[in-house]
Amino acid sequence: MRLYGDLAPWFHLLTSPADYEVEAARYRDEILGALPEARTLLELGSGGGNNASHLRTHFSCTLSDLSPQMLSLSRTLNPECEHVLGDMRTLRLGRQFDVVFVHDAVMYLASEDELRACLGTAYAHLRPGGVALFAPDFTRETFVPGTDHGGHDGTDGRALRYLEWTTDPDPADTTFEVDYAVCLHEPGQPPRVVHDHHVEGLFPEHTWLHLLEAVGFAARLVPGDPADDDRSQPLFVGRRRL
Ligand SMILES: C[S@@+](CC[C@H](N)C(=O)[O-])C[C@H]1O[C@@H](n2cnc3c(N)ncnc32)[C@H](O)[C@@H]1O
Q: Domains (ranges, CATH) in the chain?
A: 2-139+202-240 (3.40.50.150), 146-201 (2.20.130)
Q: How far is the CA of 90 from the centre of ligand 1 (A)?
A: 14
Give the closest residue (by CA) to ligand 1 atom 26: 47
- Contact present, 74 and 9 (Cβ < 8 Å): no
**What local confidence, expressed as pLDDT, does residue 3 receive?**
97
Q: What is the DSSP string of the chain?
A: -GGGTTTGGGHHHHS-GGGGHHHHHHHHHHHHHH-TT--EEEEES-TT-TTHHHHTTTSEEEEEES-HHHHHHHHHH-TTSEEEE--TTT---S--EEEEEE-GGGGG--SHHHHHHHHHHHHHTEEEEEEEEE--S--TTT---EEEEEEEE-SSS-EEEEEEEEE-S-TTSSEEEEEEEEEEE-TTS--EEEEEEEEEE---HHHHHHHHHHHTEEEEEE---TT-GGG-S-EEEEEEP-
**What local confidence, expressed as pLDDT, does residue 148 receive?**
97
Q: How far is the CA of 221 from the centre of ligand 1 (A)?
A: 22
Give the closest residue (by CA) to ligand 1 atom 5: 47
**What local confidence, expressed as pLDDT, does residue 242 receive?**
82
**What local confidence, expressed as pLDDT, does residue 33 receive?**
97
> Residues with beta carbon inside 6 Å of ligand 1?
4, 44-51, 65-67, 70, 87-89, 103-105, 108
Report the nearest atom of ligand 1 relative to the CA of 88: 20
Report the nearest atom of ligand 1 relative to the CA of 91: 20
Q: What is the residue-level pLDDT of the chain in tens, covering all 242 positions?
A: 999 999 999 999 999 999 999 999 999 999 999 999 999 999 999 999 999 999 999 999 999 999 999 999 999 999 999 999 999 999 999 999 999 999 999 999 999 999 999 999 999 999 999 999 999 999 999 999 999 999 999 999 999 999 999 999 999 999 999 999 999 999 999 999 999 999 999 999 999 999 999 999 999 999 999 888 889 999 999 999 98
Report the nearest atom of ligand 1 relative to the CA of 46: 5
